[in-house]
Structure 1
Amino acid sequence: MTSAPVQTDILALARDQVLERGEGLTQSQVLEVLQLPDERLEELLALAHDVRMTWCGPEVEVEGIISLKTGGCPEDCHFCSQSGLFQSPVRAAWLDIPSLVEAAKQTAKSGATEFCIVAAVRGPDERLLAQVAAGIEAIRNEVDIQIACSLGMLTQEQVDQLAAMGVHRYNHNLETAKSHFPNVVTTHSWEERWNTLRMVREAGMEVCCGGILGMGESLEQRAEFAANLAELEPDEVPLNFLNPRPGTPFGDLEVLPASEALKSVAAFRLALPRTILRFAGGREITLGDLGAKQGILGGINAVIVGNYLTTLGRPAEQDLDLLVDLQMPIKALNDTL
């Protein structure tokens, strides 16, 4: 009678595969990590931190974001209060160029190396692209900072225009696993987002692509999402946690438990050992002050400082002081070029 094979512990396997060899976990392996009991969370976070330090180093990239065009979006992303289809309190508004430049200046003063211009649109029209071009030129005249954009889905011509403007990085989130996407958005497809990201990469801009955890997805779908991102190989992955917004279809969903959120952070680090993994929206309500520290010591190596698009963040000084306390140096601008 033959004995059953001994199953290798997932964290022991990850230590060899990811930490020693730099090979990200597969979808099924990520699922095993997400299913670990809470008693192993500290061990998991320590391993994710070791992976981050080994394959990314100790530097933390700091970014600020600003909304050039807020609200009035025609899409029905169920988490977003900027959709014009929902009865949410956000209303359409445009930011003028002087305000954009001032926001870039304040972002640079915080030590940030990246400033992202965001617009709530399906994709940019000529007016918006002209505003972005004018904003980028004005910022460049006064501020030494890398400029990123997040303007929705793009055509090839628009990708080429942004590349010619010198946009360093383009953000377009896949938001969730391919199998869960139709439960989150119905007015466009996951594939349309993927095609924009492919064109961005081919044009030579850095690809920033992440999503939101806690939108009703299963652990299996969360693991699928990590595998989707690993296939895309983005330069940066912003991890958001759902902050339920009044008036949206997801307004009544419960906030993700902190232990589940931290397991997800570590699991995504083990799936993406060399990627910039950024703390983004929802971390304050999901994790609180203690969770911010645990995340940065559990695989995170980038943060958005200040407020988000329609929700409040922690004061930038709190995050920057935390990095000093943890002896995590802020990545210098010349290291991002």
Structure 2
Amino acid sequence: MTDILTTARDRVLATGRGLDHDQLMQILDLPDDRIPDLLALAHEVRVRWCGEEIEMEGIVSIKTGGCPEDCHFCSQSGLFESPVRSAKLDIAQLVEQARQTRKTGATEFCIVAAVKGPDENLMSQVEQAVGEIYANVEGVDVAVSIGILTPAQVDRLKAVGVHRYNHNLETAASYFPQVVTTHTWEERRETMQLVRDAGIEVCCGGIIGMGESPEQRVEFALQLADLDPDEVPLNFLDPRPGTPFGHMDVMDGKDALRAVGMFRLAMPKTTLRFAGGRELTLGDLGVEQGMLGGINGVIVGNYLTTLGRPAEQDMDMVDRLRLPIKVLSRSV
């Protein structure tokens, strides 16, 4: 039987085609002593098909907490006894946050709101914020994440120059009912197809380590690959007190690294971004292994409800690993 990493080298590295279901399952079954080989190959794949540059992004919430949805991992839900309280930022604060994010070297700034989908007030605020950021902060692209959209809302975001839209599938379709019951996986998928059809870049990923099986982890990767996203934010569950998943164990670091390699070999041409939970799950050494194992994007600073590493620490890491940072080249 041909070694799976040899198969991956011939198929993914040489031709840019992702592995299939059975092959990805073999990746997750690799023994611990093969993880360095997996990550080395994943790094070769991402350099070959994505280039050497690392994309840095900052995120800020325009509306935190009080969400009516029941995503079991999220402390922003108003249905759980979690410590997050509702808060909002005004336009001037968003512009300043974008300016400070740009100073870290990031070229992407994402505006996020904890909602199922935007009402007219939120849409208008986002439109104004995007315009003000482009007018006042040079060298930054604006991304938005405000939930499930209608076709008309997608067109409005396109019109104000939104560069990329984030709405995560979160997990495999077969496992989604164990994670969320107040809306469907298909609703999320439909929004991202609308975004794709409008010509806005698609940012769509999720969280691993929420109790899904290895088979569902592979299912999730293939469903994302079918969507053909420009970016996949890869989060690891950081159990939040007061949420239904608050009791879960943190994912094993070796399994997390296998998953990083597996996602890269499923989507060789996609920006794969380290997001929430990487510090807790992998630690500093594991994060660096991931950066040399298929990852080519990082969220710098804090996340929506959890603390990340200081942005300067990530910038130092990227410099130490001699990874070039993507420079914004388009005019806005």
Q: Does TM, normalized by the shorter one, top 0.5?
A: yes
Give the aligned partner of residue 247 of structure 2: 252
Give the aligned partner of residue 163 of structure 2: 168
Distance in 2 separating the partners of 1:37 and 1:179: 27
Distance in 2 separating the partners of 1:336 and 1:59: 19
Superposition TM-score, scaled by structure 2 size:
0.98
Equivalent residue of 1:46, what SS? helix
How is 1:132-281 mapped onto 2 (pairs within 5 angstroms)? 132-144=126-138, 145-281=140-276
AA in 2 matched with 1:30: L
Q: Percent identity?
A: 66
Give the aligned partner of residue 297 of structure 2: 302
Which structure 2 segments of 5+ residues have no match?
none
1:246-288 CA distance string (max 9 Å, x none): 0000000000011000110011000000000000000010011
CA contact 1:113–1:336 (8 Å) conserved in 2: no
Equivalent residue of 2:96, what SS? helix
RMSD: 1.0
Give the aligned partner of residue 28 of structure 2: 34
Question: Per-residue deviation at 1:336?
Answer: 9.4
Equivalent residue of 1:195, what SS? helix
1:20-62 CA distance string (max 9 Å, x none): 1111011221111011111110111101011011111110000
Give the aligned partner of residue 285 of structure 1: 280
How is 1:72-87 mapped onto 2 (pairs within 5 angstroms)? 72-87=66-81
1:52-109 CA distance string (max 9 Å, x none): 1111111000000000000000100000000000000111111111111110001111
1:148-185 CA distance string (max 9 Å, x none): 00000001111111111110000000000010000000
Give the aligned partner of residue 4 of structure 1: none
Equivalent residue of 2:329, what SS? helix
Distance in 2 separating the partners of 1:234 and 1:140: 24
Deviates more, 1:205-214 or 1:318-327: 318-327
* 2:97 maps to which of 103, 111, 116: 103
Equivalent residue of 1:334, what SS? coil
Distance in 1 separating the partners of 2:305 and 2:185: 23
CA contact 1:27–1:226 (8 Å) conserved in 2: no
The 1:226/1:336 distance shift into structure 2, 3 A limit, reads: farther
The 1:336/1:28 distance shift into structure 2, 3 A limit, reads: farther
Superposition TM-score, scaled by structure 1 size:
0.97
CA contact 1:105–1:143 (8 Å) conserved in 2: yes
* Number of aligned positions between the proteins: 331
Distance in 2 separating the partners of 1:291 and 1:333: 28
Distance in 2 separating the partners of 1:142 and 1:165: 15
Matched, 1:126 2:131: no
